[in-house]
Structure formats: structure tokens, C-alpha cells
Amino acid sequence: DAKTTQPTSMDCAEGRAANLPCNHSTISGNEYVYWYRQIHSQGPQYIIHGLKNNETNEMASLIITEDRKSSTLILPHATLRDTAVYYCIVRGNNQGGKLIFGQGTELSVKP
Amino acid sequence: GAGVSQSPSNKVTEKGKDVELRCDPISGHTALYWYRQRLGQGLEFLIYFQGNSAPDKSGLPSDRFSAERTGESVSTLTIQRTQQEDSAVYLCASSYLYGNQPQHFGDGTRLSIL
């Protein structure tokens, strides 16, 4: 079973920041938080990952709480093309290869 | 650079036939994964090739499913005597083997069993 909890769906206005929350209260010390998204008819796309420090790349920012029990993915200026299902996944280095996908958050960016 | 490539992108076949799906990973990625995604569902892990170690086959749903990988390159997923419940998108991903490296996915093969 997935170790994360995410809202089923969210809406965001085009041009505004999209903040997607994820709860992972049972995360252990060596587990990373990964974010992927899946646009219809495509494979999942890697966005960002982190352990305990906040991370930023060209796509998004990842904010992890100090106790690491939750995190937020931030898309700073959402566009219509950001409409997708967003998956938050936790996995450790020594847990084999597989990613366990939950149901994710369906983000709808509206004009 | 080039991403993960899968072929064919779509495959329609009759129940009972065998099918072979191909995955070309990103060059230099020693780990390769297969997942299945049924319509409207999340991804299910099937199999994981980890460098020269024995593959993790724990996700294969039945003995009709098998996969091979030649060295650190191409992998093929074979489904024998296909059933209608095998209809799904089959996704391949690859990554560097060690540490926290993320997996990168292809766009999958959409398999339809008539």
C-alpha cells in the first residue's frame, strides 16, 4: 500500500501558484519523497525529490516539514499544461526498485 | 538526451495470442522496471532488473508473464496466451542503480486484447 495521503482533486487558476499537499506521517529516516505527474495518455513524468531540505528545480519547489511528516509541491505559475494527476511517493535507498503509486491528486488548472 | 523508448505504442491482439513488448532504457541506466496500468487505475509494479543481480519478479501476476534484459540495454516483456484482463498500458522506466536516483518513464505500450 502507498505510504502517502493526498487530496483526490484540486483546482487552480492559470497563472497562480498551485500548492499540492502530501501527508507521509510514517516516513522513516532514510526514505525520500518523490513527486511525479501523469498527463493523460503519457507515462509518469519525474518532477522533483528530496530528503529533508527544501528543493527547487526548473519545474517546481518541494517544501518538506521539519518533522518530515508532510510535504508540499509548489508549481509557482500554473499553466493549462500543468493539468495532470500528481503523485507523491516515499521510497528508501535500500527498498528495492519499485515505486508504489497511490491515487494521486488530480489537478485542474482553469483559465 | 533521449528518454525511455517503448514499442509498439499500441498493440491489438486476439485472446490466446502471445505478445512481446520492448523497452529501450536511457543510456547508462543500469536499473530497469516494468509496470502495468489498467484503465483508470494506478501503476502496478511487475518486475525490476538491477544491474547484474537477479531480477525482482515479485510483481508478475502469473507465469504467463516473463521478462528478459540483455546486459544493460533492451528489455522485453512477454505475455503468453493473452487474456482480456491483460488489457492495460505497460510502462517501462529506467534509472541509475544506486542511491536515490529517480526513475524515468516511457510513454508505454497500450495493449488491447480482443
pLDDT (mean) for A63-79: 97
Residue percentage of chain B with pLDDT more than 90: 79
Pairing, β B10-13 against β B109-113: parallel
Reported as a single tens digit per residue, the pLDDT across B19-64 is 999 999 999 898 999 999 999 888 999 999 987 788 999 999 999 9
Q: What is the pLDDT of residue B50?
A: 85
Reported as a single tens digit per residue, the pLDDT across B57-108 is 999 999 999 999 988 789 999 999 999 999 999 999 999 876 688 999 999 9
Three cell numbers written together for A60 = 517546481
Tell the residue number behind the cell numbers 510535504, with chain if given.
Answer: A71
Q: What is the pLDDT of residue A29?
A: 85
Three cell numbers written together for B57 = 519478479
| pLDDT for residue A1 is more than 60 | no
| pLDDT for residue A56 is more than 90 | yes
Rounded distance, CA B66 to CA B47, Å?
Answer: 9
Neighbours of B50 (CB within 10 A): 17
Q: What is the pLDDT of residue A2?
A: 59
Q: What is the pLDDT of residue A92?
A: 77
Q: Which residues of A touch B (CB under 8 A)?
A: 32, 34, 41-46, 49, 51, 93, 96-104
> Which one, of B114, B112, B92, B113, lies nearest residue B104 by Cα?
B92
Mutation to test the B interface, candidates A99, A100, A105, A106, most B Cβ within 10 Å: A99
From A43, A96, A102, residue closest to B107, measured CB to CB: A43
Is the bond into A7 cis (omega within 30 degrees of 0)?
no
Q: What is the pLDDT of residue B54?
A: 87
Q: How far is B90 from chain A (nearest CA, A)?
A: 9
| pLDDT for residue B1 is more than 80 | no
